[in-house]
A and B are shown apart, each in its own frame.
Chain A
Amino acid sequence: MLLKVEDLRTHYKLPDGRAVRSVDGVSLDVAAGEIVAIVGESGCGKSTTALSILRLIRPPGHIASGRVVFNGVDLIGLPEERMRDIRGKDIGMVFQNPVTYLNPVERVGDQIAEAAILHLGLGRKEARAKVIEMLGQVRIPAPERVAQSYPHELSGGMNQRVLIAIAMICRPSLVILDEPTTALDVTIQREIINLIRDLKARLGVSMIFITHDFGLVAELADRVYIMYAGCVVEHGSVFDVFREPLHPYTQALLGAVLSINEYKETLVSIEGSVPDLKAPPSGCRFQSRCPRAMPKCAEAPLLKEHRQGHAAACWLYP
């Protein structure tokens, strides 16, 4: 297993001493060469999980407990310099708004080269060749010209390719993509989807793909983790989860998803709202909104494998 996250807990301290338990006991695996999607609604803890894996949680947040075992090494205990070595070299990252992660006054070619010079110790000439090669890999036309451009001279889709090039230049074994297409137009999103598929197929890189969009999960993921209120409520292969969602939350979410292929007269909606993570209810976190809640739900259900590789945290599957 390339990455094994075990019982991760990330809390944000409030001024009054209480803590928001944004990630509350998340475990997940990523095998070599697979795309794992983490999907959920706002505030479910999916992005915090990703940032925790990279140890990019800033105060007042902190990782309260858990293990993040990457290539056999627990990242949680590593000194910060070792971690800085891993970020960008062994684990790449791509975020939602490319422009906010690019330096507006530095040519994009130099920004892509930075990681290669820093982590791989390449000289100017080698780094230059590597940048041009990488821009080709992310299918940027006229790489020589684009390398000399500034971010504002490029479109949103181009900038996102640049960010992917930065993430990939050291050939990491894992790339974390947090809503990489959310800010892009549909036709540009399609290009990025195809590019991600292509990079996975050609370079065999593993990816964690964070999204709220089930359409993207269906297009890209091999396996999927569904998060709700800081916990994983279901995981399995993308085919199993879409064909036979186990958890009532997953069922409701999939019922609410709209598809261009299907007219829905009335949409399935989930009444109520997400529980307050400062004082989450004891027992199952979804019980107050769950159409199938029962007395037993006062006790928190554990994530249990229902079928090979398909697990849910729900008392319907004891």
Chain B
Amino acid sequence: MAVLLQATGLKKHFPLKRGLFGKSQVVHAVDGVDFEVAEGETLGLVGESGSGKSTIGQMVVRLLQPTSGTILYRGRDIAHLSPAEALEFTREVQIVFQDPYSSLNPHKTVGQTLARPFRIHGAARNGAEIQARILDVLRDVGLNEAFIGRYPHEMSGGERQRVCIARAIALRPKLVVADEAVSSLDVSIRAQLLNLLKDLQRKYSLAYLFITHDLATLRSVAHRVAVLYLGKLMEIGTTEDVIRRPSHPYTRALLASVPIPDPVAARKRTASELGGSIPSPVEPPPGCRFHTRCPEARDVCRTDEPALRAFGAQRAACIPDVVERLRAE
């Protein structure tokens, strides 16, 4: 399938203000990441706090400007778009955030919120047409006309998130960034929304950049997974490959940490721990970012940063013989 989005050498550094006398420092939030999203596919970005996954999402929708590196959308560099192209871009690439309450204007009804995209983009000729389009998009997300006059506080969390999804898909985008979009919802509501996102993907051949800390969700949602640690890509591959044959020690540790909702299986396995804690992105460790917690770490890992290499259909940033051994196990 055709590549929709391509990120190359993506970096985002945030300067830290330390007053007049403090040393100037930078947070290395994203530090050289490459990935692609194809049309109609779901790429999962997974990582713990400080991995840079949300920063990547915000760069993809142009809410943040990369410090360096490029993001090509359908072959065009999104850092250099004319105003007309930028408008076109916002029509095709949208985002849904974690907390629907803070991403909806509390003073606006659902109808007003959903009318905006059509107005801004001149996508409907008159009020009646806007109303018709709003109704269509509400139905798309499993709501009905009764919601048009409602305010955010009059809805449940699940309903609010449906409105956010409706706003994102109103103009039939090609790519939606879902940043922990279902993470704060209850199990039963989360299931409803994941089903909805999958239905919309089939119906409109949407691509998702699905950002989450939850590997169990990714298993049923993402076609491919990119594993991030401290602003770097550790491993990328199809979801099946990454979960069945994790090729990086970090992916392995992450998978071993996830609780399994099956008491028999959960008690059978010996869940090893990583130990240590995630280092500060202000002074990330030299060499491999993960070496301070890696059970496989060697001397070379403390000085040389491993490149992302292909192993089968996957790519992993680790010493080849470690990867080969992990894959053989």
- A residues lining the B interface (CB < 8 Å): 41-42, 155, 157-158, 185-191, 193-194, 212-219, 221, 238-239, 242, 252-271, 273
B49 to chain A: closest residue by CB: A185
Stretch at the interface among B56-64, B78-86, B265-273, B317-325: B265-273
Is the beta-carbon distance between A267 and B194 smaller than 8 angstroms? yes
Chain A residues with CB under 8 A of B195: 266-267, 269
Interface assignment of B135: CB less than 8 Å from any CB of chain A: no
Please give the distance in Å from A40's CB to the nearest CB on chain B. 9
| Residue of B187, B194, B220, B271 touching A253 (CB-CB under 8 A) | B187
Is the CB–CB distance between A259 and B219 below 8 Å? yes
Chain A residues with CB below 8 A from B187, complex form: 41, 212, 214, 253, 256-257
The listed residue (A187, A262, A267) touching B257 by CB distance below 8 A is A187
Smallest Cβ-Cβ distance to B256: which chain A residue: A190
Chain A residue at minimal CB-CB distance from B257: A190
- Given known contacts A186-B48, A187-B273, A188-B277, A270 and B216 CB-to-CB distance under 8 angstroms: no
B282 interface hit (Cβ, 8 Å): no
Q: Which of B214, B215, B256, B277 contacts A155 (CB 8 A)?
A: B277
* Minimum Cβ distance to chain A for residue B47 (Å): 9
Residue B143 CB within 8 A of the other chain: no
Question: A263, B188: Cβ atoms under 8 Å?
Answer: no
List the A side residues contacting B256 at CB < 8 Å: 190
Contact flags (1/0) for B187-219 with A, using CB distance below 8 Å?
111111011001000000000000001111101
Q: Does B186 contact A (CB under 8 A)?
A: yes
Task: Specify which of A186, A217, A238, A258 is in contact with B213 (CB 8 Å cutoff).
Answer: A186
Closest to B270 in A: A194
Query: Are A218 and B254 interface neighbours, CB within 8 A?
Result: no
Query: Is A259 in contact with B260, judged by CB distance below 8 angstroms?
Result: yes
Residue ID in chain A nearest B271 by CB atoms:
A190
Expressed in whole angstroms, the Cα–Cα distance for A273 and B185 within the complex equals 12
Q: How large is the interface on B (under 10, 10 to 19, 20 to 34, 35 or more residues)?
A: 35 or more
The chain A residue sitting closest to B47, CB to CB, is A185
- Could you tell me if B259 and A273 are in contact, using CB atoms closer than 8 angstroms? no
Min CB distance A245 to B, Å, is: 12
Q: Which residues of A contact B49 (CB under 8 A)?
A: 185
Give the residue of B262, B267, B278 whose beta carbon is less than 8 angstroms from that of A259: B262
Give the interface centre of B158, B214, B215, B260 by most chain A CB atoms within 10 Å: B260
Provided the pairs A214-B187, A256-B188, A267-B194 are in contact, do residues A187 and B263 lie with their beta carbons within 8 angstroms? no
Taking CB atoms, residues of chain B closer than 8 Å to A217 are 261, 263
Asked whether B191 lies within 8 Å of A268 as measured between CB atoms, the reply is: yes
Instruction: Name the B residues within 8 Å of A257 (CB-CB).
Output: 187, 261
> B277's closest neighbor in chain A, by CB?
A155
* A242 and B219 contact, CB distance less than 8 A: no
Contacts A157-B277, A185-B213, A267-B194; A213 near B259 (Cβ below 8 A): yes
Chain B residue contacts of A213, Cβ below 8 A: 259
Give the distance to chain B from A287, nearest Cβ to Cβ, in Å: 16
A186 and B188 CA atoms in complex are apart in Å by 21
B156 in contact with A273 (CB, 8 Å): yes
- Partner of B191 from A158, A185, A256 at Cβ < 8 Å: A256
